Structure 1
Amino acid sequence: MRNSIATRLALMFAAAALAVFALLGFALHHVLAGELVRHQQAEIDARLEDISYMLQYGRAPNLGKRIQEKLDTLGSADSRTRTWMWSDDPAYRFGDDAAEVMSAIDAGRDSVEVRLPDSAKTLRMRVHSRTMPATAARPAVRFMAGVDAQPFRDTLRNFETALLLLTLAGTGLAAALGYWIARIGLGPVERLSEEAQRIGPDNRALRLQLPALPRELARLGVSFNAALDRLDAAYAQLATFSDDVAHELRTPLANLIGQTQVALGRERNAPELREVLQSNLEEVERLRAIVADMLFLARAEQGVRARGLVASSIAQEVGKTVEFLDLLLDEAGMTVQVEGDAVAPIETSLFRRALTNLLQNAIQHSRPGAQVLVRIGSHGRSAEVSFSNPSAPIAPEQLARLFDRFYRIDTSRRNSGENHGLGLSIVKAVAVMHNGTVFARSVGGITTVGFSVALQ
C-alpha cells in the first residue's frame, strides 16, 4: 500500500530535521571539543608558568629542594594535575615516573597514562613540557605538567549522549508536527476529492468551487473543471451520436424488413422478386457505406495519421475529382472554376475522398446551373482548399456543427443513398490526419466549406 502524502511529507520533515540536527550537532561537538582542549591547555600552561617563574628567578642555595616541596604541595592540593621535573642534577628531579613521562613526550604523544602513587588507578593525562636553560644558581631543568583528561572526556561523552537523545527527540517531534501540518495543509485537497466524487452521470453540470480553493490548487481546479467540460461535451456528443446512429440505421433496416414482408405476403414472379432484391441491395449498400464511414472515423479519432505522403499539386487533385463527378455536374448543369494552386504532402486516396465529399456537398446544396468556385492557396505552414457555392444563408450556430456526425441543416432529416450525414465529418477526419483544420463560412448567400493540410 502506498503511503499518503501526509506520511511522505512527515518523513521528509523528519529527514530534513535529522540532517539539520546532525549538522548542528557536529558543529557544536567540534566547538565543545576544541574548548575542552583549550581549557586543558590553559590549566597546564598556568602550572608551567608558576614553576617556570621559580626556576628562572630563584637564587636560594637549596632551590631544588624548595621547588620539590612546592610541587609536592601542589600535587597534594589538586589531584587532577600532576607535575614532573627532570635534570642531570638529582636535586632537580621530581616524580617517580618523570623519565617515562619525558620519553612519552619526546615520542610526540600529547597524552600519557600515569599511575597514581600507592594506588591501582591509572590516569590518562594531557602533558606538556618546558625546558629551562641553566643559570648560575641551577642546572638546566625540564619541567612537565599534566592535567587529567578524563573529566573532559566525560563531559564530551555526556554531551554526545544528550545530543543524540535530543536529535532523536527533535526528529520525532518534527515528524509528528510535519504530519499534523501536512494533514491541515492537505485539507483543501480532501475537500477537492470529496467534491470530485460527487460528480457523476446524474449531475454532470456540477463543478469544483474555485473560490474556496487555495491559490496553489486554483489552477488545478480550473484544469479539472475544463476537463469535466470536455468530458461533458463528449458525453453529450456520444449520446447524440448514438441517437443519430440508431436513426440512420433504423430507416434502411425498416425498409429492408418492410419490403421483404411485402414480398413474402403473396406469390411473386421472378421480375417482381428481382425488383425487391434490387431495392434491398440498395439499402444494404447504404448500410455498408454508413458502417464503413463510421469505422473510418473511429480510426481517425484513435490518432491514426496519414501515411505514404506524396508531394502533389492540389489543383491537379481537384481536377481529377471534378472529372470523377463530371456526370453529377452535367445532370445538375453546374460548372467548377479552380483558382490558385499549392503543392503539399498528402495521402492521395484520403485527400481525394475529402475533395469528393466537399464537391458532392456543393452540388447537393446548390441550385441547378450554379458555379462552384474552388480556391487553393498556402497560408503560413499549411495549404488550404475551399469550395464555394450559392446556397441559402446558414446561421452561425449551424456552421459550427456542419462537421458533426450525422448533422444536417435540414431538420426533416431526409435520407437518401447519396447522403447520410457523414461526408463533412470525414473531411474533418482527413484534415486532422494531415495535421490540418476545417472551416465553414456563409456570407451573402455564398457558402464556403474547406480544410487545410500541413506543409511540413
Structure 2
Amino acid sequence: MKTSLTLRLVILYAVAAAVTFALTGVALYGVLDRQLDRLQQDALRTTAQEVSYSLARSGDPERWGRFKTKLDTLTPVDGSLRFWVLSDDPAYEYGKGLADISSLERHPDGFGKITLPDRETALTTITATVDPYLARPQVRLIVGMDSAPYAHTLRYFLWAMAGLSLTAILLVGLLGFWVTRLGLRPLNRLSAEARALRPSALSQRLSMAALPVELEDLATSFNGALARLEGAYNQLEAFNADVAHELRTPLTNLIGQTQVALSRPRSADDLQEVLQSNLEELDRLRALINDMLFLARADQGEAATGRIQAVLADEVGKTVEFFEFLLDEAGMRVRMEGDAFATALIDTALFRRAVTNLLQNAIQYSAPGAEITVDIQRRGDMLEVAVSNAGPPIAPEHLPHLFQRFYRVDAARRVDGLEHSHGLGLAIVKAVAAMHGGNVSASSEGGTTRVAFCVDARTSG
C-alpha cells in the first residue's frame, strides 16, 4: 500500500515529538522524584532534630512524662507522622507497635523505610541515637513520615505529563501536516509542470524560479533528462528520415529500371543487364539493413562474443591485404606504426570490420598517391588503433558528430569514382569499440584527419 509523502512526514514529526516528550518526561520525573525525596528527608531531619533536643533533656521520670505528652501532641490523628523511642529500659520506651519496628534496631542511624500492617504505603524514617542523661539510658529515636502525599504528587505529575504529551503530539502532527503541505507546494508545482509536458513541446523545461535549494538539483536533473530526451527524439526523427531516404533511392532505382525494362520487349542480354543492375541495388539494400540490425543489437547491449587473444597489428595487416587491389589502383599505400606486438582479447571479425570502415573512409577521402597511416598505441588500460590520412580538413563543429548514424559533413568531401557509403561506417566503429569496452575519437589538424577507436587491454597477455 502506497502512502503519501505528507503522511510519512507527519508520522515522522509525531514520532520525533513522542520521543522528545518521553525523554523529557522521564528526565523531569526523575528530577521531581529526587526533589520530593530531598524535601521529605529535610522535613524528617528538622523534626528529628527538634525532638532529639527535647529528648536529650528528659533524664528523669517527670520530664519523660512531659516529653511523651509532647510526642502525643505532635502525632497527627491520621498517623502520617509517628515517633518511636527504643530503649533497654521499658520505662523509657514510646510509640505504637514497637514490635513492628524492632528490626530497625539493627539499622544504623540515618534514613530508611518501614511498612506497617495498618498502612498501605511505606513510611520514610530517620533514626538518631540519643546519649544517656541522668536516670535515662541511651535510647534510639525513630521518626516516621508517610510517603503517600509524595507518591500521589508523582502519580499526578505522571498522568499530567502523559496527557500534555499526547496533546502536544497531536498538535505537532496537525502543525506538521500544515507545514508539510506548505513546504511541498514547490514540489506540487513541479509535478503540475511535468504533467503539462507534451510531445509537441519538447523544448519545454521546468521552471527554476523561486525553487528551494533541495529541489534545484532535482529540477536540473529532470531538465537534463528532458534535454537528452529531446536530443534522442530529434535524432530518432533524423534517423528515420535518413533511413527512409537511404531506402528510397535504391528502391526508386529498382522500380524505375524495372518499369523501363517492362515498357517494351527486351532481349535476353538487355534483361540480364537490368537484373545485374537490380542485384547491385539489392546488395546495397541488404548491406544497409544488416548494418542497421547490427547497430540495433549493439544499442541493446550486445557484447562481443568469441573473443580470442590476438595481435592487433596482425589483424590490421590482414585487413590491409583485403584493400591491396583498391590501394594499387589509387596509387596509395598503408604504413604501420606503433606497437607491433600489442595483444588483446577481441572478436577478430568485429575488429576487422571496424578497421575496414576506417580504411574505407581514409581511401575515399584521400587524394590519389597518398599515404595512409595505421598507428597502434597503448593508452593506459586501452589499446588505440588510429587511421590517419591527408585530405580535405573537417571543421571542428563536425568532429563530435562524425560517429552519428547517417551523418555526413558535406558531399564535396566525397571523391568521385569510389563506392558510395550510406553513412553508418563510423557508427559501426563506435559500436564495435563499445562492445570491447572502448571508445572512439576524431581530429583534423594541419590537413591530416585522424580517426581512432580503442579496445580494453586489461585482459591482454
Instruction: With the length of structure 2 as denominator, give the TM-score of the two structures.
Output: 0.88
Alignment of 1:30-429 (within 5 A): 30-76=30-76, 79-103=79-103, 110-113=113-116, 115=118, 124-265=122-263, 271-341=269-339, 343-345=342-344, 346-411=346-411, 419-429=421-431
Q: Is the partner of 2:386 in helix, strand or coil? A: strand
The runs of 5 or more residues in structure 1 that have no matched partner are 116-120
CA-to-partner distance for each residue in 1:38-68, whole Å, 9 max, x for gaps? 2222222223222222222223442332221
Cα distance in structure 2, aligned partners of 1:337 and 1:88: 126
Aligned twin of 2:441: 439
Q: Is the partner of 2:383 in helix, strand or coil? A: strand
Cα distance in structure 2, aligned partners of 1:52 and 1:65: 15
CA-to-partner distance for each residue in 1:318-339, whole Å, 9 max, x for gaps? 2111101212222323222222
Aligned twin of 2:10: 10
Aligned residues: 451
Q: Is the partner of 2:116 in helix, strand or coil? A: strand
CA-to-partner distance for each residue in 1:412-450, whole Å, 9 max, x for gaps? 999997522111111111122223332223334433322
Q: Is the partner of 2:231 in helix, strand or coil? A: helix
CA-to-partner distance for each residue in 1:333-381, whole Å, 9 max, x for gaps? 3222222235142322211111101111122222333322223323333
Question: Which stretch has the larger CA shift, 422-431 or 300-309?
Answer: 300-309
How much has 1:241 moved relative to structure 2? 0.4
How much has 1:143 moved relative to structure 2? 2.2
Contact kept, 8 Å, 1:313 with 1:341, in 2: the verdict is no
How much has 1:281 moved relative to structure 2? 3.0
Question: Which stretch has the larger CA shift, 262-271 or 142-151?
Answer: 262-271
Instruction: With the length of structure 1 as denominator, give the TM-score of the two structures.
Output: 0.89
Q: Is the partner of 2:368 in helix, strand or coil? A: coil
Instruction: Supply the AA of the counterpart residue of 2:255.
Output: I
Contact kept, 8 Å, 1:341 with 1:376, in 2: the verdict is yes
CA-to-partner distance for each residue in 1:9-46, whole Å, 9 max, x for gaps? 22222211111111111111111111212222222222
Question: Which stretch has the larger CA shift, 187-196 or 10-19?
Answer: 187-196
Cα distance in structure 2, aligned partners of 1:415 and 1:152: 111
Aligned-pair Cα RMSD in Å: 2.9
How much has 1:165 moved relative to structure 2? 0.9
Aligned residues: percent identity?
Answer: 50
Instruction: Supply the AA of the counterpart residue of 1:397.
Output: E
Contact kept, 8 Å, 1:84 with 1:144, in 2: the verdict is yes
Instruction: Supply the AA of the counterpart residue of 1:395.
Output: A
Q: Is the partner of 2:398 in helix, strand or coil? A: helix
Cα distance in structure 2, aligned partners of 1:357 and 1:122: 101
Contact kept, 8 Å, 2:58 with 2:67, in 1: the verdict is no
Q: Is the partner of 1:304 in helix, strand or coil? A: coil
How much has 1:114 moved relative to structure 2? 5.2
Question: Which stretch has the larger CA shift, 441-450 or 150-159?
Answer: 441-450
How much has 1:280 moved relative to structure 2? 3.2
Contact kept, 8 Å, 1:336 with 1:374, in 2: the verdict is yes
How much has 1:226 moved relative to structure 2? 2.0
